[in-house]
Chain A
């Protein structure tokens, strides 16, 4: 036993050293603005986060090609926190105090964000977080460019309750075991109860990160669905577990017309490794889909496809764009606009300049940063999986809606301020 503990230490150190080797990006030029990119490039979250790193690099390249920010070129500093939550905090500290980056774009899982939050607070750094999440926080040093629960989870469940969504009466809340799925399901449970769904009609299930055997869970879902009334599954499974989950779902013959599965962390990118023909009709709720048609999106998709070809990314001919990539793209552009407006990269000045920042986004709307609450006003789309792995939008909001980071379905939240504490 003693030995094993030592090995864990040895591995941790080795991993840290190996990851440190990746940071030798920095050039010497002094008239650049350094920006940090903090996404897992290995481990269970690499399936989702690698594409965000590429999007960030592509956007930085695009901004540089147009002359940079305040006449200075942006210089990316890429680090790999390897899906290891404490390592996220170490890497964030290194980016801010050692590499002196002006801003960090990064994180996917909420547990990684929670692990870096104290670092950004302590060192007064600036983080742009590009993924939908559970809300329940409002940090002065963080801008949330993904959806809050009322911009994704709640509309998705409302849709499944509607006639077109199948009038679901029973609910399976299925997730990976960590803060995001637990909190989201807490909100959803309160919401469903407010809508008159009984506790007996809700089933909650969690699996560890990297779980790969979904036989039992699928069997349980089938059993639950067989107990009468229309059943729908809300999946907050994150990372590469989604591949075995959807494979098992397809093999077990659980069709979307019988038991629809709506996912909050599965987009075009996650479905690339899966045969989607048996999955047609299963749903995802996002603020952007690649299949949305408008000039900004066409340009965005082309930009990324060209980038993939230029950088020779794996499977460059089949790359796709997804919601967190769009959120990353919006975030970097808005940050650049705010820096131009503030004429400084100073954290506090940029935070002030971010309020009310506008950007014409690939989702087809002019997206606005809320003047106060650090969240974007975003449109909501619900899409069904098509046989080619893309999504077919079956429902959308008329326009962008304001984020509610403090969900009204959690008791006590009505007293919380809709802006971060600034002390």
Chain B
């Protein structure tokens, strides 16, 4: 591939008599000085030659060589110019997607010289969404036009924008009396400003709520397993964070397996990791329950100590098997990037997928607990152990199963965490406190409580973070939880009924 490119460039450099490209211009791309490079890029772009486009593309990708065979390097300034030049050429591309990208690129750097080109593109454009963007671009290019009618039209057209830069521009436009003497146009600018401002504020709010929900869904995934083992069974499991870690490492292992054996399907390793992580963590959980925890039922302090020890053992085991350093878990391509809601807000795909995944896990747990025989047994044992035993529920087996379920769900949480946070032996330590916070705030023994607490804490944390910064926000959330527990020790949802006293 590279050879073909080199050959192509050499052909351009030598046989330019046949092509329309000026060899001097191509050579000038290799100039030391950025100004010269940019001049050459602009000249090449103006020619509109498809070969020029190909060369600019190579320059952008860093595959273009100079006469000595060295890569020609570019910096951000040159890269921005190339993007602009290419965008101008692609405005008339037959492909819809290419045109959309081109307009978006242009919108960031509009200058009045582009007006005729944009006007032409606007006439040709059939796609309404692209046309709307082109209208904005045209308005930006003509906002300082000599004709007051054109200026007024431009200012009005910009009201449909959601770009923060446009907002600033409109406000400046309103205040700058020397540049715009006509009061009516300035007033129109202010009206447009208010519209844009409102749109941006809504987008801001959506962004904050989204990041709060995203954090909440992560907290929920981390805490849901604990809500079963601690909330429902009463086991204080300090090794819960390590079960998350096992889920994350299971994801890592699946990624390695897919890379080695199924390179074509590597994007789908996450899906395969879901059951694997569940069963890996559940197996470890069942082992822990059978060997240690079941001997300690009803002795919370000893359980606390024993599980703390278990967590240290699990961390050390992970260090032995996978090394002390973090391992790399890559997002599959379908989880990379984001959806642009407005120019100022992009919702990352990996977080959207995780919110969906947490809903899936939640409904899975709900169905298991409320619609299956095992769930019925678990609830029966929780509410009244001796009575459940009397009517033939195998209580000890139910304990094991419930603990395994809680552990497995922690494993699922680990899969989600691996996609956004670092995967390392002590990653679980960072989530154990948060998980307990969620369960305690939500109310022990209630899944619904965990859901509300996770989402509530997530949104509160994110709103505070936007206001005070991450460090203070973390402290504030802890203080809030302490006060909350003081005032309402039973959590958001309290269990009611005869079984409470136990």
Contact = CB atoms under 8 A, between A and B. Distances in A.
Interface of A: 3, 7, 10-11, 14, 18, 41-43, 46-47, 50, 80, 163-166, 177, 205-208, 210-213, 215-217, 219-220, 222-223, 225-228, 240, 243-244, 247-248, 250-253, 256-258, 260, 272-273, 275, 278, 280-281, 283, 314, 384, 386-387, 392-394
Report which residue of A257, A280, A394 has the largest number of chain B beta carbons within 10 angstroms of its beta carbon: A257
B310 interface: no
B422 A226 contact: no
B164 A226 contact: yes
A181 B216 CA distance: 29
Contacts of B312: 11, 14
A3 B471 CA distance: 26
Contacts of A251: 336-338, 346, 348-350
A289 to B, nearest CB: 12
B348 A257 contact: no
B182 interface: no
A273 B424 CA distance: 12
A240 B326 contact: yes
Given A219-B466, A250-B336, A252-B338, A42 B319 contact: yes
Contacts of B151: none
Across the A-B interface, the 8 shortest Cβ-Cβ residue pairs: A226-B164, A251-B348, A42-B324, A273-B328, A215-B211, A228-B168, A257-B80, A212-B421
Contacts of B474: 208
Contact of A386 (B62, B76, B325, B326): B62
A253 B340 contact: yes
Contacts of A250: 336-337
Nearest to B312: A14
Contacts of B301: 3
Nearest to A4: B304
Interface centre among B200, B328, B350 (most CB of A within 10 A): B328
Contacts of B168: 226-228
B31 interface: no
A240 B34 contact: no
B430 A210 contact: yes
Contact of B208 (A219, A228, A314): A219
A252 B348 contact: yes
Interface of B: 34, 61-62, 73, 75-77, 79-80, 83, 108, 163-165, 167-169, 172, 200, 204, 207-208, 211, 214-215, 238, 301, 304-305, 308, 312, 316, 319, 323-326, 328, 330-331, 336-338, 340, 344-346, 348-351, 420-422, 424-426, 430, 462, 465-466, 469-471, 474
> Taking each of A80, A206, A243, which has the highest tally of chain B beta carbons within 10 Å of its own beta carbon?
A243
Contacts of B164: 222-223, 225-227
Given A18-B316, A166-B76, A394-B75, A216 B470 contact: yes
Contact of A392 (B62, B167, B215, B340): B62
Nearest to B35: A163
Given A3-B301, A41-B325, A212-B421, 16 more contacts: A7-B238, A14-B312, A50-B324, A50-B325, A163-B34, A164-B77, A216-B211, A216-B465, A226-B167, A226-B168, A228-B165, A228-B172, A243-B326, A273-B328, A384-B76, A393-B73
Nearest to B61: A387
Contact of B470 (A10, A208, A278): A208
A42 B320 CA distance: 12
A215 B351 CA distance: 10
Contacts of A248: 348
B326 A273 contact: yes
A18 B340 CA distance: 48
A46 B62 CA distance: 32
A222 B341 CA distance: 14
B330 A275 contact: yes
Contacts of B326: 46-47, 240, 243, 273
B418 to A, nearest CB: 11
Contact of B34 (A18, A80, A164): A164
A216 B473 CA distance: 11
A211 to B, nearest CB: 6
Nearest to B324: A42
A14 B315 CA distance: 12
A252 B346 contact: yes
A140 to B, nearest CB: 33
A112 B420 CA distance: 28
7 contacts: A7-B304, A42-B324, A46-B424, A206-B470, A227-B164, A251-B336, A253-B346
Contacts of B169: 228
A344 B304 CA distance: 54
A272 B329 CA distance: 11
B471 A208 contact: yes
Contacts of A212: 420-422, 430
A408 to B, nearest CB: 29
Contacts of A41: 324-325
A223 B326 CA distance: 32
Contact of B304 (A3, A164, A384): A3
A207 B172 contact: no
Contact of A7 (B172, B308, B421): B308
Given A46-B325, A208-B471, A386-B62, A256 B462 contact: no
A227 B80 CA distance: 20
B425 A217 contact: no
Contacts of B345: 219, 222
A116 to B, nearest CB: 21
A223 B163 CA distance: 10
B187 to A, nearest CB: 21
Nearest to A394: B75
Contacts of A205: 469-470
A137 B325 CA distance: 31
Contact of A219 (B211, B316, B430): B211
A14 B474 CA distance: 27
Contacts of A43: 426
Contacts of A227: 164, 168
A384 B348 CA distance: 24
